[in-house]
Amino acid sequence: DTGVSQDPRHKITKRGQNVTFRCDPISEHNRLYWYRQTLGQGPEFLTYFQNEAQLEKSRLLSDRFSAERPKGSFSTLEIQRTEQGDSAMYLCASSLSRGESGRVTDTQYFGPGTRLTVL
């Protein structure tokens, strides 16, 4: 396993701009989760995918937020018309509900995160 990777690691943008983050999960992991962590707080769940299907979305995920996982591998999280309140660390995690080998890993493995600063 090469680990969960996220790109970019840091993003500074001006209020009103759109931003997109990418997450590459551990290969074979079919579940992918997005969390948001603000300063001094624990991560908060945003949404998760089983393969390409988005199964749950938090009420935190306003209409300005959209997440996709088009081929069941990497995922993108887009924020439109960013606001200063969107400044946070965006974390991605992945797990394996069942692989072809029958292997199961329900532990969520986290990436390093993307730190967003909205000026």
Partner 1 sequence: AQSVTQLGSHVSVSEGALVLLRCNYSSSVPPYLFWYVQYPNQGLQLLLKYTTGATLVKGINGFEAEFKKSETSFHLTKPSAHMSDAAEYFCAVSEGGFQKLVFGTGTRLLVSP
Give the interface with partner 1 as residue ranges (CB under 8 A): 4, 6, 31, 33, 35, 40-45, 48, 56, 58, 91, 93, 95, 97, 104, 106-113, 115
Q: Distances from the Cα of 98 to the Cαs of 10, 19, 93, 113, in angstroms? A: 33, 32, 16, 25
Name the minimum Å distance from CB 45 to partner 1. Answer: 4
What is the closest distance, in whole angstroms, from the C-beta atom of residue 69 to partner 1 in the complex?
15
Residue 81 beta carbon to partner 1: minimum distance, rounded to whole angstroms: 26
Structure tokens at 25: 């999960």
Between 21 and 33, whose beta carbon lies closer to partner 1? Answer: 33
Query: Which element (helix H / strand E) includes 59?
Result: none
Query: Is the peptide bond prior to 25 cis by the omega test (within 30 degrees of 0)?
Result: no
Distance separating alpha carbons of residues 72 and 85, to the nearest angstrom:
30
Q: Least CB distance from residue 1 to partner 1, whole Å?
A: 13
Contact 118, 87 (CB under 8 A): yes
To 5 degrees, how large is the angle CA 49–CA 55–CA 61? 85
Which is closer to partner 1, CB of 6 or CB of 82?
A: 6
Nearer to partner 1, 44 or 80 (CB): 44
